[in-house]
Chains A and B, each alone.
Chain A
């Protein structure tokens, strides 16, 4: 696990975790100062997968840059695309047909489910439980198949266009989503039985990496990480987009703020996602899948900001437009970047062995942090 250990004087040791470490699920490099087994400081070194997506987007048109964002948070690629499509629609006041809105939201929630499933399996694997990984991937495969049929790709779907979605849904789509939902409703109880109630698992998670409500706000944490600390920050509830104001779902919250609370919030969120899909899947209206747009999109001069709730939290897209076909400046406020900044704070005073539990429950996706 430890790449190299260097003596730093006064009994402190400096330990490098990553950039090639199985528990970072990507190329995150943490330089950790420990005293005995107690963590004194965690210092993330980023940039191993930095592609300067913001600079890249400055030379791409409003239709093109949507698909670059799939490569940021690759587990919620569809939701990233959604944020960019919403931005262009907001800037140019494009009407999205209702059918497209329904499809978009169903796809968003399927993406969220797939992302949380992968998180559940990978996080459990990091702390030593191998079985959940296989269970999670069994169910995730079904979602990937649904995606493949309709979007043509399994992970980076690139299904969004400004004004709607690229193709209509596959004839099997509704049937398959219903099958998946019925199947997963039973399987999620299996998840609970296997891991949530497990006393060894609980001992490793409870009281580990406590993030208070004030700190969560101050660090700009969003998504399940902040909601586990009692911060109400679900963009789907606060600033509903598409058809989120027509469906009923619960904002999953906890107050403990420890790793176990973050775990429970994500599991609950999966159940809520299924509820949203249940409400929408039977009612997809007939009609167009794309609104009317011009061939060349030129948003007016000004600044635009949209935000969506990805599987990790609030993704904000800030665009400065000069009235050209390409954005003058684009900034992605990625949820992972802010969530990572809290890692040092919550890890101090904890044991080195608990670090993977904290990293796992923060749900870090490195391309999202580095951009």
Chain B
């Protein structure tokens, strides 16, 4: 399936996802409220079967946060990248760990490093950092005078 075909197929079943120009793969923008529905649709629609979430991360753009989900299908070998814009002050989005189980650990990682709240996550606790850690280290405005050396 080419990029255009994939784009029209996804737009057909999930009109709330809008394509973004550029990038190696098809990039699509989704509102946080629609994300869970879109995720379910691309996972379970025959012909798409996006069953492998190979990268889940977040980018701090200073004005907002963007969740980035790299999805691929192990049967059809097509890749799509979903981007969900979040408010920096009140960053929350639905969890997808019931759809792709790998998301459970990756969301915990994003939760502690970026401060994104994943609604519906069964076990949202700190994974890497100590339990009493303050602040979100991978945000751009994070300051730590002891542990960070600025070049």
A318 lies within 8 A of B68 (CB): yes
Per the 8 Å Cβ criterion, residues 37-54 of A in contact with B are: 44-47, 50, 52, 54
Q: Which of B24, B59, B74, B104 contacts A320 (CB 8 A)?
A: B59
Closest Cβ of chain B to A277, distance in Å, is 28
Residue of B nearest to A339 (CB): B102
Q: Which of A238, A328, A341 has the most CB of B within 10 A?
A: A341
Complex interface: chain B residues within 8 A of A314 (CB): 54
**Number of inter-chain CB pairs below 8 Å:** 78
With the chains together, A345 CA to B55 CA distance in Å?
Answer: 20
| A316 adjacent to chain B (CB < 8 Å) | yes
A329 lies within 8 A of B100 (CB): no
B74 lies within 8 A of A302 (CB): no
Give the interface size bracket for A toward B. 35 or more
Q: Which of A50, A217, A305 contacts B51 (CB 8 A)?
A: A217
B57 lies within 8 A of A337 (CB): no
Complex interface: chain A residues within 8 A of B102 (CB): 218-220, 338, 341
A238 lies within 8 A of B105 (CB): no
| A231 adjacent to chain B (CB < 8 Å) | yes
B53 lies within 8 A of A220 (CB): yes
Q: Which of B101, B109, B129, B151 contacts A59 (CB 8 A)?
A: B151
Complex interface: chain A residues within 8 A of B150 (CB): 59
Complex interface: chain A residues within 8 A of B127 (CB): 44-47
Residue of B nearest to A45 (CB): B127
| B46 adjacent to chain A (CB < 8 Å) | no
A215 lies within 8 A of B101 (CB): yes
Q: Which of B52, B55, B74, B130 contacts A305 (CB 8 A)?
A: B55
B138 lies within 8 A of A54 (CB): yes
Q: Which of B23, B109, B137 contacts A55 (CB 8 A)?
A: B137
B52 lies within 8 A of A220 (CB): yes
Interchain residue pairs with CB less than 8 A apart (5): A220-B52, A305-B55, A305-B70, A316-B70, A341-B101
User: What residues of chain A have their CB less than 8 Å away from a CB belonging to chain B?
Assistant: 44-47, 50, 52, 54-55, 59-60, 215, 217-220, 231-233, 238, 302-305, 307, 314, 316, 318, 320, 328-329, 331, 333, 337-338, 340-341, 345, 370
